[in-house]
Amino acid sequence: MYRFLAVALSLISTSCFAWQLQPTDSSLSFVSIKKDSVGEVMHFKKLTGSLDNSGTAVLSVPLASVETGIPVRDERMRDLLFQVAQYPKATFQGTIDMKTAAALKAGDQAHIPVKGQLSLHGKSAEISADTLATKLADGRLSVVTTEPVIVHTGDFGLNDGVKKLMEVAGLPAISRAVPVTFALTFTP
């Protein structure tokens, strides 16, 4: 009986979450544009996620892991923009065509659209991304954006935080349309 239960649980866990995000081989970056012409690339140091065999993708981003290259700016983004004490993470839950992804052989690539809901700062909005999926030689799956996804701060109630950042930094403008890119690697 114990052996049957162990096999059954193994099959269930394999079918539910067949792929786990490899954080050290993955990245999520965004571009902040200030003063109408100064662009700066920033990223998050921590990511977690999974991709199940039905194509449900889940990505969680601890917002306190924001990395701008300037410690005081990291602190301001955590406290004034993201308000991590109240909203510690952003999450994306969407779908990917796993039939196409599963058919890939090592070295093969396929353009696969990803659609889902981004939850950030207590708000949710639909997000779509065009991606390129590549089956790696070691069996892992790489999924990268082929063009930036534009996230609008107003869709997530972040405009007041942007204003606060402008005030504290003495900036005339910070763009409220933010280009986001990702490169995610999943291990079966």
What's the whole-number mean pLDDT along residues 134-142? 96
**Other C-beta atoms lying within 10 Å of the C-beta of residue 70:** 12
Task: Say if residues 121 and 83 touch (Cβ distance below 8 Å).
Answer: yes
The per-residue pLDDT for range 151-161, each reduced to its tens digit, is 999 999 999 99
Domains in the chain (CATH in brackets) are 19-187 (2.40.128.110)
61, 89 Cβ separation under 8 angstroms: yes
Return d(Cα 118, Cα 92) in angstroms, integer.
4
DSSP annotation of 45 reads: S
> Are the C-beta atoms of 71 and 79 separated by less than 8 Å?
no
pLDDT for position 3: 43
pTM over 0.95: no
Give residue 9's pLDDT band: very low, low, confident or very high (50, 70, 90). Answer: very low
